[in-house]
Amino acid sequence: MESMSETTHHGYATYWRIWGWLLGMTLLALGVGYVDAMPGGLKALLLVGITLAKVAIIGAYYMHLRSEKLDLILITFTPIVLAMILFFFMVPDAGDTATRIMTLR
Amino acid sequence: MEATVGEQERILASPWGGGTNPFGTSWGKFMMWVFIVSDALTFAGFIVAYGFMRATAPAWPAQDEVFSMGLITFMTFALISSSCVMAIAVGAAPQGRRSEAVKYLWLTILGGTIFLGSQAYEWAHFIDEGYRPWFNPVMPEVPQFPAAFYVMTGFHGFHVFTGLVLLLYTVIRAHMGKYTGDRVEIAGLYWHFIDVVWVFIFAFFYLL
């Protein structure tokens, strides 16, 4: 219901502001992706960081998670946690090329 | 026995005692969240498998030489914009501002259609150049590249298509006056999830 009061009190300015942030972060990610001089590990770290930040603000503002109960918010973390477990369990199977995950391109 | 009765009363009075909504949402909205979580696991599997394939591949094409990054950025712009207008429709619907909700729902559908049309164009171009899910004409030693492209963008595109069907259903119902704010919000959750998945694909497949 907080979403309703939010739109009543502030119009849709919040949504447009978030849109601006999302576009800004998209352009930032694009810039990071095409800086050839940047080490692969740093590039990967920055892109993961920007991606998670974008997902967090879409979830919090557009999907209204910030006004949901903590139980529901915690449930939405399960795919990220399980994906990380899957990722790190598969890294050793990539053998001696595993480190290339962090030094792509 | 008295302690047991007290314990029962405590449980019945808790959010999990029955007859209440422990998550503070309608059943439909909660089920959409459960679906989103399970669907996110599917895409997480794809992304991890892609990472594994890429780590074990002998080489990987430079994406900006294969794809038009201008088009990909435009597609991202269309999807993010559609998410924004969807959020506005979700804000308007429960307040009874039907015409406003309908207008923004149509704008969301427009954004989604532009995205899907651009993706169809990108696929057509990719197919024309000879890329197949099992064959890479430019780097034959890396068939994983087109395989990952077709599977990830294909599944995502199918989700966009499904989202458009859901939005059309919602907007037609809204035109008929047979809609509730809750239903619009449920459709909105699905649409934002599609945006979230694209954020991952954009970063990991096109940029990294």
CATH of the domain at B159: 1.20.120.80
Residue B37 Cα to chain centre, angstroms: 11
Give pLDDT tens digits for A43-68: 889 999 999 999 999 999 999 999 88
Q: Is residue B130 part of a domain?
A: yes
Q: What is the pLDDT of residue A69?
A: 86
Give pLDDT tens digits for A67-76: 888 888 988 8
- Alpha helices, DSSP H only, in B14-97? 27-56, 63-66, 69-92
Q: How many domains does chain B have?
A: 1
Which two three-digit tokens encode residue B172?
């037609």
Which residues fall within 8 angstroms of residue B166, CB to CB, at 6 or more apart?
A: B187, B190, B191
Q: What is the pLDDT of residue A91?
A: 75
Closest CB to B73: pick one of A30, A75, A90.
A30
Closest CB to A15: pick one of B55, B56, B84.
B84
Would you call B33 and A51 a contact, using CB atoms and an 8 Å cutoff?
A: no
Residue-range definition of the domain harbouring residue B103: 26-207
Q: Is residue B163 part of a domain?
A: yes
Per the prediction, chain A carries an average pLDDT of 80
Encoded amino acid at B208, one letter = L
Neighbouring C-alpha atoms within 13 Å toward the C-beta of B127: 8
Is the CA virtual torsion B182, B187, B189, B190 positive or negative? positive
* Distance (Å) from the alpha carbon of A6 to chain B's nearest alpha carbon: 9
Run of H or E including A72: helix A70-75
Q: Is residue B164 part of a domain?
A: yes
* Distance (Å) from the alpha carbon of B38 to chain A's nearest alpha carbon: 8
As a whole number, mean pLDDT of residues A25-42 equals: 85
Q: B interface mutation test: which of A42, A81, A86 has the most B CBs within 10 A?
A: A86
Cβ–Cβ contacts within 10 Å for residue B204, how many? 21
Cα–Cα distance for residue pair A17/A12, rounded to 1 Å:
9
What letter would DSSP give residue A91? T
Would you call B204 and A59 a contact, using CB atoms and an 8 Å cutoff?
A: no
Of residues B165, B160, B196, B183, the one with CA closest to residue B31 = B183
Which residues fall within 8 angstroms of residue B34, CB to CB, at 6 or more apart?
A: A75
Q: What distances in angstroms separate CA A53 from CA A58, B180, B208, one per listed residue? A: 9, 31, 16
Strand partners of residue B1: none
Q: Is residue B203 part of a domain?
A: yes
DSSP of B106-169, one letter per residue?
HHHHHHHHHHHHHHHHHHHHHHHTT-BTTB-SS-TT-THHHHHHHHHHHHHHHHHHHHHHHHHH
Q: Under a CB-based contact definition with an 8 Å cutoff, are residues A29 and B207 in contact? A: yes
Cα–Cα distance for residue pair B134/B129, rounded to 1 Å:
14
As a whole number, mean pLDDT of residues B153-174 equals: 95
Q: What is the pLDDT of residue B105?
A: 94
ipTM at complex level: 0.84
User: Which 3 state secondary structure label does DSSP give A24?
Assistant: helix
Q: Is residue B14 part of a domain?
A: no
Cα A80-A84-A90 angle, rounded to 5 deg = 145
| Domain boundaries along the sequence of chain A | 2-102
Q: What is the pLDDT of residue A5?
A: 44
Q: What is the pLDDT of residue B3?
A: 60
Q: What is the pLDDT of residue B168?
A: 95
Would you call A6 and B208 a contact, using CB atoms and an 8 Å cutoff?
A: no
What letter would DSSP give residue B23? T
Partners of residue A33 in chain B, C-beta under 8 Å: 203, 206-208
Residue located via tokens 């969240």: B33
